[in-house]
Amino acid sequence: MTTIAVITGNPKPQSRTHSVALAVADAIAAGLGAPADRLEIDLTEHAARLFDWSDPVLSGLTAAVASADVAIFASPTYKASYTGMLKAFLDRYGSNGLAGVTAVPVMTGGWPGHLLAVEVHLRPVLVELAATVPARGLYVTEPELPELDAVVARWSATATPLIIRSLES
């Protein structure tokens, strides 16, 4: 069974960014055509411990993400990049900490002027951690949120086959 981890680095609990990441997880799971286990990590629940390198809960979560088949890393756009909360979580990994994981970068923002942030800022850190990033990341603007299913479906039509191919290799 495939494991899909969803990690959201939005300072607001149960945010719109988290909803986008869950929609992406659903689309990937549907594309797999088989049930998938899902691990959901909303980093707001762990913010106070993000910098405690010995915290057993966060150590367990980082290990679980590193052993997932697919990991969706989601963040709102913050100062033209991803949040420090997500960065702090990613900093818990060594240089090859996500080797063997197929990663999906996802970002949300207020306007399309930052749409390259997902490719220019979030993708490179995932690659640096040795994750495989086979498809373009998804950037969703606030005006697109009412049409989220259609936006994710358009992205998924191209991305999910690439993600599945990555899992098969």
Q: What is the pLDDT of residue 122?
A: 97
pLDDT bin (cut points 50, 70, 90) of residue 66 is very high
pLDDT bin (cut points 50, 70, 90) of residue 34 is confident
Q: Mean pLDDT throughout 62-81?
A: 96
* pLDDT at position 1 over 90: no
Tens digit of each residue's pLDDT (9 = 90 or more) over 116-169: 999 999 999 999 999 999 999 999 999 999 999 999 999 999 999 999 999 998
Answer whether residue 125 is part of any domain: yes
Answer whether residue 3 is part of any domain: no
* Count of other CB atoms within 10 angstroms of residue 39: 16
The residue range of the domain holding 122 is 12-162
Answer whether residue 1 is part of any domain: no
Q: What is the pLDDT of residue 22?
A: 97
Q: What is the pLDDT of residue 64?
A: 98
Q: Mean pLDDT throughout 33-40?
A: 90
Answer whether residue 121 is part of any domain: yes
Tens digit of each residue's pLDDT (9 = 90 or more) over 14-31: 899 999 999 999 999 999
CA distance 162 to 97: 22
> Nearest CA to 17 among 66, 102, 86, 97?
86
> Nearest CA to 152 among 4, 16, 33, 24?
24
Answer whether residue 87 is part of any domain: yes
Answer whether residue 4 is part of any domain: no
152: exposed, middle or buried (C-beta count within 10 Å: 0-12, 13-18, 19+)? buried
Task: Sheet with 36-42: list strands edge to edge.
Answer: 36-42, 2-8, 70-76, 102-109, 138-141
In the block, residue with structure tokens 């959901």: 40
* pLDDT at position 35 over 90: no
CA distance 31 to 55: 35
Q: What is the pLDDT of residue 164?
A: 96
Answer whether residue 2 is part of any domain: no
CATH of the domain at 35: 3.40.50.360
Q: What is the pLDDT of residue 169?
A: 82
Answer whether residue 24 is part of any domain: yes
User: Number of folded domains in the chain?
Assistant: 1
> Nearest CA to 139 among 154, 161, 160?
154
